[in-house]
Amino acid sequence: MEQEKYAIGLDIGTTKIVVMIGRRNEYGKIEILGIGKAKSLGVHRGVVNNITQTIQSIQQAVQEAENDSGKKITEVVVGIAGQHIRSLQHSDYITRPNSDEVIDEADVDRLCNQVYKLVMLPGEEIIHVLPQEYKLDGQSEIKEPIGMYGGRLEANFHVVVGQVSSIRNIGRCVKSSGLELGGITLEPLASANAVLSQEEKEAGVALIDIGGGTTDLAIFKDGIIRHTAVIPFGGNVITEDIKEGCSIIEKQAELLKIKFGSAWPGENKDNEIVSIPGLRGREPKEITLKNLSKIIHARAVEIIEQVYMEVKNYGHEEQKKKLIAGIVLTGGGSQLKHLKQLVEYITGMDTRIGYPNEHLAGDSDPEVASPVYATAVGLVMNALDRREKAIIEEEEEAERENIQQPQEPTNEPETVSRPKKERKSFLEKWSDRVKDFLDNAE
């Protein structure tokens, strides 16, 4: 039974790979039992570009998490991001043959599966089909059509698309590391689950997760995901700029950024100088903090403007789509000094830094509640949800078999318990499809 209680998230990032083990305590909060991280070498801008190195890093992180928690890791839920992810809006409808019956799960499934058949560009695969609102015989803004009467069921969908080869490579890395792939989730969705409150999702909010190689965006309004995007640069390009601009090595640039960096140049005096030891036998370099923050500022502005453009594409400027809760920044890049002020200045929207402590147990290690682990915490939550659903379904299956043995099978129990059994989330269905897909590819 012990195995049932905990679940594992695997965040394959550009700068680091994190394996996190968690379980739900009696209050429904999440306890993190162990965490392992390794430097990520085989990933560029969220996409695996060196399988061998990525496998090594995953194994190293798994080893560390196992030692930390004393638990064995077999199955993981993995996050997917990267510059190949794009999303589109699509609406579709089905006509029901019998409008005297109420709409059930099967109708909604039929509608969603129809969207999966959309013709994509060669080499692309639909990752998520997320229904937004339904329309029933012309009556709009229906959140949950199940149980209603109607002939024509329509819905608007948010469709997330990714590259088949990139998805396959991630599956390959996980399998070759000796792990089972329990499911795949879009990373901005995972971070959003860990960081945002339900009120924010209702009011309208943009979650910006600034990672090393990519910046992920997820927009919610009225409690529904409205827009997702992955912008192909993050904190690493800032480090890269410092490296070039100051002619120093990457390690020093990263340290400079973390220790002295600021996204707001007006803040530093002209005479504040940092001295950096030169390479072997060379003179040390002197860098003014003002110059350093000018370099950072220029690149930070570029990242924020790109993200803000996506927010505008979603339609934030229309009264009905206004994001009242503003922006939440998370991910390692959100820890850059004065970034919050810069974001507020450029977008004119309220901004806060998002810590993934929304669902964590009170006595969690403060390290885990850092924005750096937002995606990992979200993936653990996702893994736990899947696990709990699977257990409920198994119990219902067993119950149904018991009901059917002693008496003549009547329709009653079947119909009573059916919707629950069938209610698989779109994510799970997709994961099953990806699993088949990967197994066939082997």
Secondary structure (3-state) at 99: coil
Burial of 146 (0-12, 13-18, 19+ CB in 10 A): middle
Mean pLDDT to the nearest integer, 66-79: 92
Is residue 153 a contact partner of residue 145, using CB atoms and an 8 Å limit? yes
**Cα pseudo-dihedral 301, 307, 311, 317, rounded to 10:** 10
Going by pLDDT thresholds of 50, 70 and 90, the confidence category of residue 402 is confident
Is residue 210 a contact partner of residue 303, using CB atoms and an 8 Å limit? yes
Element (H, E) at 398: helix 374-404
Q: Which residue has the higher pLDDT, 140 or 296?
A: 296
pLDDT recorded at residue 279: 81
Is residue 265 a contact partner of residue 290, using CB atoms and an 8 Å limit? yes
Distance of CA 203 to the CA centre of its chain: 20
Burial of 185 (0-12, 13-18, 19+ CB in 10 A): buried
Domain limits for position 334: 204-352
CA distance 102 to 40: 51
Is residue 206 a contact partner of residue 215, using CB atoms and an 8 Å limit? no
Instruction: Report yes or no on 109 lying in a domain.
Output: no
Mean pLDDT to the nearest integer, 78-105: 90
pLDDT in tens, 10-43: 999 999 999 999 999 888 899 999 999 999 999 9
Secondary structure (3-state) at 97: coil
- Per cent of the chain over pLDDT 70 is 90
Predicted model pTM = 0.86
Is residue 135 a contact partner of residue 142, using CB atoms and an 8 Å limit? yes
pLDDT recorded at residue 417: 39
Place of tokens 């937004």: 132
Token pair for residue 77?
């839920």
User: Maximum distance among all alpha carbons in the chain?
Assistant: 90
> How many alpha carbons lie under 13 Å from residue 55 in its C-beta half-sphere?
13
Place of tokens 């850092």: 370
Is residue 336 a contact partner of residue 351, using CB atoms and an 8 Å limit? no
C-alpha distances out from residue 43 to 11, 13, 80, 189, 229, Å = 12, 7, 12, 20, 19
Token pair for residue 331?
């991910």
For residue 77, the cross-strand partners are: 9, 183
- What is the full DSSP assignment across 98-120? -TTSPP-HHHHHHHHHHHHTSPP
CA distance 301 to 346: 8
Q: Across all residues in the chain, what is the average pLDDT? A: 88
For residue 253, the cross-strand partners are: none
DSSP state letter for 372: G
Instruction: Report yes or no on 139 lying in a domain.
Output: no
Q: Which residue has the higher pLDDT, 179 or 433?
A: 179
Evaluate if residue 144 carries a pLDDT over 50: yes
DSSP state letter for 334: G
pLDDT recorded at residue 430: 59
pLDDT in tens, 351-382: 999 999 888 988 888 889 999 999 999 999 99
Place of tokens 């499934």: 109
CA distance 437 to 125: 11
Instruction: Report yes or no on 29 lying in a domain.
Output: no
Instruction: Report yes or no on 97 lying in a domain.
Output: no
Going by pLDDT thresholds of 50, 70 and 90, the confidence category of residue 420 is very low
Instruction: Report yes or no on 219 lying in a domain.
Output: yes
Q: How many domains does the chain have?
A: 1
pLDDT recorded at residue 154: 94
pLDDT in tens, 226-263: 999 999 889 999 999 999 999 899 999 999 999 999 99
pLDDT recorded at residue 414: 44
Q: What angle do CA 178, 184, 187 make, to 5 degrees?
A: 120
CATH number of the domain bearing residue 286: 3.30.420.40
Instruction: Report yes or no on 8 lying in a domain.
Output: no
- Phi and psi at residue 270, in whole multiples of 5°? -65, -25
Going by pLDDT thresholds of 50, 70 and 90, the confidence category of residue 2 is very low
Mean pLDDT to the nearest integer, 97-107: 89
Instruction: Report yes or no on 335 lying in a domain.
Output: yes
Mean pLDDT to the nearest integer, 283-303: 93
Instruction: Report yes or no on 104 lying in a domain.
Output: no
